[in-house]
Amino acid sequence: MKILLSNLLAIYRRELQSYFTSPLAYIIAVVFWLIGGLFLVALLLSPQGLIAQAAAADQLGAGAQKIDLPYEFLQIYLNLLGSLSMFVLPMLSMGLYAEERKQGTLELLATSPVTNWIVALGKLLGVVTFYTVMLLPIMIAEAIAFASSQPAFPPSVFLLGHVGLLLLAAGVLSLGMFISSLSASTVLAAIMTFGLVLLLWVIDAIANIPGIAGDALSHLSLLAHYTDFVQGIFDTSGLILFLSYIVLGIFLTAQSIDTLRFQRS
Amino acid sequence: MPESIIAFSLGHLRFCLGFCPSQGEFIRFIQTVAMIEVDRLSKRYGSTVAIKDVSFSVEPGEILGFLGPNGAGKTTTMRILTGYLPATQGTARIAGKDVHLDSMAVRQRIGYLPETPPLYAEMTVEGFLNFVAQIKGVSAGDRPTRITSAIERCNLQEKRNVIIRKLSKGFRQRVGIAQAIVHNPPVIVMDEPTVGLDPRQIIEVRNLIKSLAGEHTIILSTHILPEVSATCDRIAIIDRGEIIATDSPENLVERLTGQGGYQVELRGEMESALSVLRSVPGVVKVQSEVTEGLTDGHFRYRVTTGSAEDLGSAIATAVVTHGLDLFELSRSRASLEDVFINLTMQEPTAEPVLDLGLSDLGSSDQGMSETPEISEISETPETAVIEEDEIA
């Protein structure tokens, strides 16, 4: 057990280190922060922003419907952030295994006393950590906005929404990792992972159609459950669904690396 | 209920039967001391046979060279040994552990340098070695000393904190070797360790490999002949997936050439020179050679001796005592290269190599009457090979 943990830690640290030494990772982070920050400013402070709308509603007096401004903001913003992440995540996961295959280091991992699933788990933890680091400055900016809210906005709703975002990202990254393990080309992995993201959107769209198919799919849709989290509803079935996607991704990755040994090379 | 009991006992019996041979093999293993033991290993990719019935063993501290043309199955064998690929049939054991059944234990005891060294370009040499030591299971306390010793072993001291991306090919290869020895494994497997290096780097890497022998058992693959004769204690020649010879370099040359030969340049009458040379005991055949380009009165002769015995001094004495002037006396010996080409170019069903070479030469004699002497006693198998092809 101790050996497994130290292996996991070694893989995790190497993976994380590779992000912090990669120019591409920095570019991705900067673009993410830039667009995320732009959304934040536009949503709150622009002339058509939420604050301006609320001020206009106040001027109309009692006739207008009262809105919970911080809550509205959190929902819209997390949905925007989720959509932005869907473009960013394939670029984070594309290199996870494709790069190792290209550099030939997969042969080192496969001939070391480390199991495939430990490698997969370590890598996933590494990339999720990097995504969390990308998310932190944006969370701080949001927290500053929420700090000026009166009455105080409940931090639990704020945290739950972001935990939901992290779980969604982890699920997509886990499946992206599997896709990355299928080929030695990072570009191909990125395109295929983006295709998967589109598929998730399609599934979510079908899930919104009433009927048996829609009902069944709504239980499997990552995005539908993410919306629950964003609304501040903690649902065990949602948590289990996210974890299932993560475990599925790790399992498929380990299997795909295992079958690699049986291919001609 | 009774059925289930029968079924159970049948299963039990089958289990016993299945298990017994492997126990027998285990006992057999204990009796031998081989560090690497490969027993009738076969690997098929679909319908293509990559290796077939490969068997060999390597004693502790030995360097075994795995020699063969490209595509002969060297890399496949290496990959099976390291547990990267499963074998279709047969067993391989490293330090007594089966590479397939006890894969994790084997991986801990093996250092592997694939054809392209597996390096993380963005890491420093030391950081990379630390990572490898970690995943190879070196305990945290031993890591610094193991890393330092691997770095010193491979002469990487001044590159310790350099990012691998910035290293030259030769240094990268050395980091690759350091990576293979950092956990002090009893067995090191290297796939073409000197490919793509310049001559000076090749010598450095060879010396490094030689210095590792003794405390490590090494198996290395190559298609470069001087490499095996320079580094290895023993050679296994593999061709089209089958081992066709395993022996020390010297024995291989001796076994497969059998006959020795000399080239003699003399001044004097040809008839008497021939009879003088023939009178030397042990000489089987003497032939005069082309004299073009030689000074007038000088003649060249090819002397074939029956065994690998050295007759040089006897020939010299005979020549001098009979009043002939000796200008050149050189030994012509088949090189390892000849042996290799001879071995790998023959048809699998052909008779022993030397016979094949000579008989082919003999039969082609009539066709090449211009220079019968040369082709008749030539020991260079290249000629033999070309002619063999012509006949075919």
The CATH code of domain B256-332 reads 3.30.70.3190
Q: What is the mean pLDDT of residues B134-151?
A: 92
Highest-scoring range by mean pLDDT, A46-55, B34-43, B336-345, B365-374: B34-43
- Using pLDDT thresholds of 50, 70 and 90, give the confidence band for residue B311: confident
Pick the residue from chain B with its C-alpha nearest to A102.
B118
Task: Give φ, ψ of B305 to 5 degrees.
Answer: -105, 155
Q: Which of B44, B120, B166, B173 to mutate to test the interface with A (most CBs of A within 10 A)?
A: B120
| Contact between chains at A14 and B46 (C-beta distance less than 8 A) | no
Contacts of residue B48 in chain A, CB cutoff 8 Å? 264
* Pick among 3.40.50.300, 3.40.50.970, 1.10.3720.10, 3.30.1460.30: CATH of B34-254: 3.40.50.300
Q: What is the pLDDT of residue B182?
A: 93
pLDDT tens-digit readout, A206-233: 888 888 888 888 888 888 889 888 888 8
* Least confident among A16-30, A106-120, B68-82, B252-266: B252-266
Q: What is the mean pLDDT of residues B243-249?
A: 83
Which is higher by pLDDT, B132 or B364? B132
Strand B187-191 vs strand B110-113: parallel, antiparallel, or unpaired? parallel
Q: What is the mean pLDDT of residues B93-106?
A: 88
**Arithmetic mean of pLDDT over chain A:** 89
| Contact between chains at B122 and A110 (C-beta distance less than 8 A) | no
* Least confident among B158-162, B163-167, B376-380: B376-380
Q: What is the mean pLDDT of residues B198-216?
A: 87
pLDDT above 90 as % of chain A:
56
Which is higher by pLDDT, B93 or B267? B93
- Using pLDDT thresholds of 50, 70 and 90, give the confidence band for residue B249: confident
Q: What is the pLDDT of residue A240?
A: 94
Q: pLDDT at residue B293 above 60?
A: yes
How far apart are the CA of A101 and the nearest CA of chain B, in angstroms? 10
This prediction has a pTM of 0.75
Q: What is the pLDDT of residue B355?
A: 37
| Contact between chains at A109 and B85 (C-beta distance less than 8 A) | no
Q: What is the pLDDT of residue A149?
A: 82
Which is higher by pLDDT, B256 or A45? A45
Q: pLDDT at residue B96 above 80?
A: yes
Query: Smallest Cβ distance to A110: which of B84, B108, B127?
Result: B84
How far apart are the CA of B181 and the nearest CA of chain A, in angstroms? 13
Which is higher by pLDDT, B166 or B258? B166
| Contact between chains at B123 and A7 (C-beta distance less than 8 A) | no
- Using pLDDT thresholds of 50, 70 and 90, give the confidence band for residue B356: very low
**Arithmetic mean of pLDDT over chain B:** 76
Highest-scoring range by mean pLDDT, A100-104, A164-168, B224-228, B362-366: A164-168
- Using pLDDT thresholds of 50, 70 and 90, give the confidence band for residue B6: very low
| Contact between chains at A14 and B131 (C-beta distance less than 8 A) | yes
Query: Smallest Cβ distance to A111: which of B45, B83, B137?
Result: B83
Q: pLDDT at residue B24 above 60?
A: no
* Least confident among B13-22, B175-184, B350-359: B350-359
Q: What is the pLDDT of residue B230?
A: 81
Q: pLDDT at residue B372 above 60?
A: no
- Three-state SS letters, chain A: CHHHHHHHHHHHHHHHHHHHCCHHHHHHHHHHHHHHHHHHHHHHHCCCCHHHHHHHHHHHHHHCCCCCHHHHHHHHHHHHHHHHHHHHHHHHHCHHHHHHHHHCHHHHHHCCCCCHHHHHHHHHHHHHHHHHHHHHHHHHHHHHHHHCCCCCCCHHHHHHHHHHHHHHHHHHHHHHHHHHCCCCCHHHHHHHHHHHHHHHHHHHHHHCCCCHHHHHHHHHCHHHHHHHHHCCCCCHHHHHHHHHHHHHHHHHHHHHHHHHCCCCC
Q: pLDDT at residue B16 above 90?
A: no
Residues B198, B170 contacting (CB under 8 angstroms):
yes
Q: What is the pLDDT of residue A120?
A: 95
- Using pLDDT thresholds of 50, 70 and 90, give the confidence band for residue B308: low
Contacts of residue A13 in chain B, CB cutoff 8 Å? 131
pLDDT above 90 as % of chain B:
18
Pick the residue from chain B with its C-alpha nearest to A114.
B135
Sign of torsion, CA A164 A167 A173 A175?
negative
pLDDT tens-digit readout, B253-291: 666 655 567 888 888 788 888 888 888 887 777 877 776
Q: What is the mean pLDDT of residues A238-261?
A: 92
Q: pLDDT at residue B137 above 70?
A: yes
